[in-house]
Copies of this chain bind each other. A is one copy, B any other.
């Protein structure tokens, strides 16, 4: 419907432009400190022009940005199991090292969203739970193939891996000289009988 022809073409383009600008700004300053006005200026239209495309106001922009980005990120993991899933985590991290904005976006927003009254609070709570469950399942699958070092408990391994991932991202964002993907790979290898 919103294809490359007809009356909706311009709308679709504008929406994309706006989402890109919103993403950039949210990544830089977080949600609260970003203004619709500045997004509008980046796109080259007025503030009301932006709101025209996102009826729900600023909040609609936030959820649209999050949904768009998560759809991309989770796509890589769909269908993967066990070792493949874990290897993909490392791969995602390798890609993210080239996309500072994405990492910063999620750190900024997930930090704000710790506040139970933040509009994206539930979103990030659920997101983290889902990821933790998925990683736990991956470790469980490896366990069933006798691929885990003795004594490794899937849930613990999952939470530790996520902690290491978040932590390496934090250090990296703050300018420390760390290799996120390598760090995660080595950390996961500590749980595996056969290295990734």
Q: Hey, which bits of chain A sit against chain B, CB under 8 A?
A: 28-30, 32-33, 104, 107-108, 110-112, 114-115, 124-125, 128-129, 132, 159-160, 162-168, 170-171, 173-176, 178, 183, 187, 190
Residues of chain B within 8 A of A173, CB atoms compared: 114
Bound form: Cα–Cα A125–B176 in Å? 9
Contact flag A111-B107 (CB < 8 Å), given A128-B171, A166-B171, A168-B167: yes
B128 adjacent to A176 (CB under 8 Å): yes
Smallest beta-carbon distance A125→chain B, Å: 6
Q: A170 to B159, Cβ gap below 8 A? A: no
On whether the beta carbons of B108 and A111 are closer than 8 Å, the reply is yes
**A53 CB, nearest partner CB in chain B, Å:** 25
Which DSSP category, helix, strand, loop or mixed, fits chain A's interface? helix
Query: Nearest CB to that of A31 among chain B residues?
Result: B33
The CA of A132 and the CA of B171, in the complex, are separated in Å by 10
Q: How many identical subunits does the complex contain?
A: 2
User: Do the beta carbons of B178 and A110 come within 8 Å of each other?
Assistant: no
Chain B residue numbers with a CB within 8 Å of A125 are 174-175
Please give me the 4 A-B residue pairs with the lowest Cβ-Cβ distance, nearest first: A167-B167, A163-B167, A166-B167, A111-B111
Query: Complex: how many Å from CA A178 to CA B183?
Result: 21
Contacts of A115 in B (CB 8 A): 28-29
Given A167-B165, A183-B163, the answer on whether A112 and B178 have CB atoms closer than 8 Å is: no
Give Cα A23–Cα B107 distance, bound, in whole angstroms.
21
Q: Please state if A178 and B159 are interface contacts (CB–CB under 8 Å).
A: yes
Which residues of the partner chain B approach A159 to less than 8 Å between Cβ atoms?
171, 176, 178
Q: Is the CB of B171 within 8 A of A170?
A: no
* Distance from A72 Cβ to chain B, minimum over Cβ atoms (Å): 22
Please name the residue on chain B nearest to A32 by beta carbon. Answer: B33
Nearest-CB residue, chain B, relative to A172? B163
22 example contacts (A-B, Cβ-Cβ < 8 A) are as follows A28-B115, A30-B111, A32-B32, A33-B33, A33-B112, A104-B114, A107-B111, A108-B112, A110-B170, A110-B174, A114-B173, A128-B174, A159-B176, A160-B164, A160-B187, A163-B171, A163-B183, A164-B167, A166-B166, A167-B167, A167-B170, A170-B170
